[in-house]
Structure 1
Amino acid sequence: MNAGARLSDAAAGVALAAAPLLRRVRPDIGRVLAARRAAAAELVAWGCRREPGPLLWLHGASAGELLGAAATVRVLRAGVAARSGDRPQLLVTYSSPSGQAALQWLGPDHSGYAPLDRRRDCDRVLAVLRPGLLVFAKLDVWPGLAAAAARAGTPTALINGTVRDGSRRSRRAARRLFRESYAQLEAVGAASREDRRRLVALGARTDRVTLTGDAAFDLALERADRAQADGSAAAYRSALGGSEPATLRLVAGSTWGADERALLDALDSLVATRRDGGPGWQLVIAPHEPTAAHVRALVASCEARGERVVRWSRIGASRAAPAGAIVVFDEVGRLAELYAVGDVAYVGGGLGGTGLHNVLEPAAAGLPVVFGPRHDRSDARALEAAGGGLACSPGALPDTLAGLADPRLRAHRGAAARAFIESGAGAAALTADLLLPLWPG
């Protein structure tokens, strides 16, 4: 067993020993740990009863990684079916509960949490499932699972491969631990030239790393265009109160507490611009984790400022939000459709601590995309350089939004954002071509 796999095995044992404490002090982590502890048995049970036939296993940490892989998986499955006559079944696993939000775009035959990254669980699962290919999406290669796949003779690949600035895996000690795990990968699709260089530095073999781009661009375009074509954008627009020329809709997606405070402060400041003849703003906030507790706290914060606020789930039979109300969007998995009815987008996570979330979906909708300055996302920096993204501090947010009230500037930046996404499309087909030769037979 390689060093990274040994460390991962030991870490799983420590986590299990700490499980009773975690259930008390961090029940969210405790629930995930319990689900992953049960995952091996659940996957084995499914493997024993599934229909005979080839199997593709896709693993991603959470919804963002899995969504980025969706277009590639669709093309790959079709390619395998065309070559062999058998369309492979699809297993999707994740390590964060948000992964469930991606399932509607993947259509798996089975899905659930990944097993704990320890030898006995991974070997047990692979012995029963015997997938034709195991694909990791975007960020993480699990060393225990990768080592088990090598023992089982299952080829492994990494797609949309990204190594973010300051990644802990890039540190010298981590590179020593995980080098063998990356070296075992049969194919690596790198999202950018810089990612390619970093992946090779982590241990991926130079001859197995190909610059494919990030297929998340393909899905972002697909979702934005589908929202307009299938009527879902029109339905959202109606439910949010129609379209008033004097009101701009700011859709804030994947927000955390720091983002929400900054947005509400900015909204207070923008009230003055409306008195001076500027436009009004409708704020729609979609928290990254719309738990009951978080939504209650957000609603209370809005009300404490004297704002009228309504939860999306409680708009009711009228199907229209009250005029002037802040809308708290308490669903998951529908952000692309929500961005389609916005005038300006704000993406959360860039004010420190949590990490900036997906900027591609609002850009594909043709919106100027505003986000915090503390992030490690190369796609956000590229979007900003292309003119479609604006990084700003909380203090600068009111002025940034006031500037985007100018319809010409807003249209210019929105067009630049859409053009940026279109320029990055096509990675799904390139990545599927990279993976197809790995398929058995």
Structure 2
Amino acid sequence: MNAGARLTEVAAGIALAAGPLLRRARPDIARAVAARRRGAAELAAWGRGREPGPLVWLHGASAGELLGAAPAIWCLRGARSGSRAGARAQLVVTYGSPSGRAALAWIDPDHAGPPPLDRARDCDAALAALRPGLLVFAKLDVWPGLVAAAARAGVPAALINGTVRDGSRRSGALARRLFRASYARLDAVGAASPEDARRLEALGVRPGALAVTGDAAFDLALERADRARAGGAAASFRAALGASDGASDGAVPRLVAGSTWPADERALLDAAAAVRRDGGPGWQLVIAPHEPTAAHVNALVASCAARGERVVRWSEIGDAAAEPDASVVVFDEVGRLAELYAAGDVAYVGGGLGGTGLHNVLEPAAAGLPVVFGPRHDRADARALASAGGALVSPAGALADTLTGLARPPRRRRHGRAARAFVEAGAGAADRTADLLRPLWPS
């Protein structure tokens, strides 16, 4: 057993032994440990009863990693869309964060849940029951105990959409020593970019197993945006939101703010108010918080009302249109952000004003919207999108000027075309990734 697997084995044992203490001091960790214990039993039970045939096991930390991997997995299974029709293999999906559940409707696995604890007995039992033909990790969430168990079971293991952000904790000297053997055991690794490939090799990935395949999140963003438009979801959202179409001069433009945090929301509300005070156009803000809990939504609605904004919750609109003069719509539904972007004129992506981390910029870009975000982030795709002219980086204090400039439809169209072209240029990773994995797939 290598150093990383020994570490996670010991950590799992300590977490189990300290269960009562964790439930009092760190209930979040206690819940995660309990979920992984249940996950191991559920995987084994499902595996023992599954139908015979090939199976791929996909693991990702959360919804974003899983969704980005989905197009390549569809290709590998023989289905080119979210439909299971024609699929030639079963699919098991595990996720580290409960947010991973949001991706399941799109991926449509045969079984899904938390992964086993990263210790030999749990991982060996899960692999023995599932009998997968391939184990696939998404992005970077490689678990050393599971990799070691796959090697013992003779199951090939791969990493796709491999991304190592600048300053990643896995790049530290101690982490490299602990996890180097695990990365070296991977049979195939698809890197999102040449820079990611260099960093993955530094982590221990063997050069012969490494290829630059791109990031299939580009493919997914295009498919979701195109489906939203073709399926009528975007038109339905526009009708329900009630504001006039912002594509023409003089109309009220709509800004869809996705995955926002309180810092983003304060900055947007301040900016929109400043634009109105200076005689600029009124904007309709559609704000979709990253965590639309009742407490967060209630606080946001109260803040808008205290500012004098005409605010309505999306859940209160129903099938009827919003009030024509609603200046803020708080979107309190999850899982439909790609469709919501397609109904906007400009997108704002949250997480770039604080330490929460910038969220997905590809979905609004694929919808052909200019994308605005804050400067504090480590996303290479966001930097590249801005360099291509599809995004504007704006600190909180400059947001009013940014909105004033984007009030002009010709400028919005120019940035929106650049954003869409950027995503189209990055597509194709799904096929390349599937080609990388196919030699590992049992005939």
**TM-score, length-normalised on structure 1?**
0.94
Counterparts of 1:4 and 1:187, CA distance in 2: 19
Q: Are 2:77 and 1:72 aligned?
A: no
Which of these residues, 248, 264, 270, is aligned with residue 269 of structure 2? 264
| Corresponding residue SS for 2:364 | helix
Separation (CA, whole Å) in 1 of partners of 2:23 and 2:391:
40
Q: Distance in 1 between matches of 2:21 and 2:380?
A: 37
2:152 pairs with 1:147: no
Letter in 2 for 1:33: V
CA contact (8 A) 1:48 1:128 kept: yes
1:322 CA drift (Å): 5.1
Aligned to 2:259: 254
Give, in whole Å, the separation in 1 of the partners of 2:72 and 2:314. 32
Which residue in the other structure is 1:425 paired with?
427
Aligned to 1:11: 11
Within a 5 Å distance, the mapping from 1:27-426 to structure 2 comes to 27-78=27-78, 87-245=88-246, 246-273=251-278, 276=279, 278-321=280-323, 323-426=325-428
- Pairwise CA distance, 1:310: 1.8
Cα pair distance change 1:350/1:16, threshold 3 Å: farther
Cα pair distance change 1:349/1:86, threshold 3 Å: closer
The Cα of 1:113 is off from its aligned counterpart by: 1.2
For structure 1, list consecutive stretches of 5 or more residues without a partner in the other structure.
none
Alignment partners' CA distance in 1, 2:16 and 2:311: 42
Q: Deviations over 1:199-224 (max 9, x none)?
A: 00000000111010001100100111
Distance 2:436 2:398 in 1: 44
Partner of 1:437: 439
Using the TM superposition, name which of 171-180 and 349-358 deviates more: 349-358
Partner SS state of residue 285, structure 1: strand
The Cα shift of 1:242 comes to 4.7
Taking a change above 3 Å as real, the CA distance of residues 328 and 30 of structure 1, as seen in their structure-2 partners, is: farther
Number of aligned residues:
434
Partner Cα distance (1:352, 1:6) in 2: 35
**Deviation at residue 38 of structure 1 after TM alignment:** 1.1
Decide whether aligned partners of structure 1 residues 18 and 334 sit closer, same or farther in structure 2, where only a CA change above 3 A counts.
farther
For 2:14 and 2:303, how far apart are their aligned partners in 1? 39
CA change 1:196–1:258 in 2 (3 A) is same
In 2: Cα distance, 1:203 partner to 1:113 partner: 26
Task: Tell me how far apart the structure 2 counterparts of residues 269 and 338 of structure 1 sit (CA, whole Å).
Answer: 25
Aligned 8 A contact 1:60 1:66 in 2: yes
Contact 1:79 1:436 in 2 (8 A): no
State the shift of 1:152 in Å.
Answer: 1.1
Identity within the alignment, %: 74
CA RMSD of aligned residues (A): 1.8
Q: Which moved more, 1:382-391 or 1:430-439?
A: 382-391
1:41-90, CA deviations, whole angstroms, 9 ceiling, x for partnerless residues? Answer: 1111111121121111011111111111111111110189xxxx981100
CA-to-partner distance for each residue in 1:352-407, whole Å, 9 max, x for gaps?
22111100000000111111111111101110111111222111111111111122
- Report the alpha carbon displacement of residue 229 of structure 1 after superposing the two structures with TM: 0.4
Cα distance in structure 1, aligned partners of 2:339 and 2:207: 39
Asked if 1 retains the 8 angstrom alpha-carbon contact of 2:78 and 2:87, the reply is: no
* CA distance in 1 between partners of 2:134 and 2:187 (Å): 10
Aligned AA (1:34): A
Distance in 1 between the 2:24 and 2:402 partners?
A: 42
8 A contact 1:232–1:337 mirrored in 2: yes
Could you tell me how far apart the structure 2 residues matched to 1:132 and 1:22 are? Answer: 36
Q: Counterpart of 1:247 in 2: which secondary structure? A: coil
Provide closer, same or farther for how the CA distance between residues 301 and 116 of structure 1 changes in structure 2, counting only shifts above 3 A: farther
Judging changes above 3 Å, is the alpha-carbon distance between structure 1 residues 352 and 163 closer, same or farther for their aligned structure 2 residues? same
User: What is the CA-CA distance between 1:21 and the residue it aligns to?
Assistant: 4.8
